[in-house]
A and B are shown apart, each in its own frame.
Chain A
Amino acid sequence: MARATPKSPKPAALPESSVTQPLAQTGLVPIEKNGEPSAASRFRIFIVDSGWNSAARRVLHENFALIRDLQKEDPIYVLSRERSIEFMRRHGSRIGRDPIIAVHDMQALEKSGTAGFHGFRLSLGLLHTPEQALLGLQAFARFLVTHRNSADLEADIRAGLRREGLTGAIEIVMQHEAREIGV
């Protein structure tokens, strides 16, 4: 379990321009490889955050630099607050689940379009404590790095979810038993 929270030089607020923050305003530059924008990335990462004052949001902001460094190969697109709110209004069932990190698997998109599996989404806002949110972010980064060359990302995700569910349940049972015997 992670104890320390790696931090960016300063906690920052999400940019709030109308669509997305122009690069000139943010001081950020497009990702480039050999002078060319990285068009051949396996993943495209989108962050939707309407701005709830939540632990998950703070954790995301404080660790964004590290996430960025770990995912150098993949472009990260941050929707503005206005655009994120517009998104939430259209998809009301997702209110309160943000920050949401959506990952598009470009390989799957090119192969079969949006009809079938084409990526995954982490609803960070459902993790209510900083520790949970940090673990979620770490799992997200780990998964992307270790599955960059996966031939069947969908199977990997589903297998991972099954395994985590099983492991979690066993942990709970073990903790319950430990409490019962006074450990």
Chain B
Amino acid sequence: MLDRFGEVVSLVLGVLAIGYLVYEIDRRQRKLHDIWDVLDGEDAVLTAALEDMVERGELQPFAGAALA
């Protein structure tokens, strides 16, 4: 009886541990995706606007050491 109970507790704890790990990985990846994100079709308008500013010469590259 005690053996059986111990097995069930171990199983539950194991499932909880794996669940926690999966949850943590997912949470971490979501957070990372918030901070680091790829530019794709959703950013097309913005990207085009920035590139357009560069082409028109409204934005010039910085080459100096520090922002002033």
User: Measuring CB to CB, which residues of chain A are less than 8 angstroms from any residue of chain B?
Assistant: 8-10, 12-15, 19-23, 26-32, 37-38, 44, 46, 61, 64-65, 68-69, 75-79, 87, 91, 102-104, 109, 113-124, 126-127, 136, 154, 157-158, 161-162, 164-166, 168-170, 172-173
User: Measuring CB to CB, which residues of chain B are less than 8 angstroms from any residue of chain A?
Assistant: 20-21, 24-29, 32-41, 43-44, 46-48, 50-51, 53-54, 58-68
Question: Is B67 a contact of A64 with CB atoms below 8 Å?
Answer: yes
Question: Is B62 a contact of A164 with CB atoms below 8 Å?
Answer: no
| Smallest CB gap from A74: residue in B | B61
Question: Is A19 a contact of B64 with CB atoms below 8 Å?
Answer: no
Known: A13-B67, A27-B68, A121-B37. A114 touches B44 (CB 8 A): yes
| Smallest CB gap from A165: residue in B | B29
| Smallest CB gap from B61: residue in A | A75
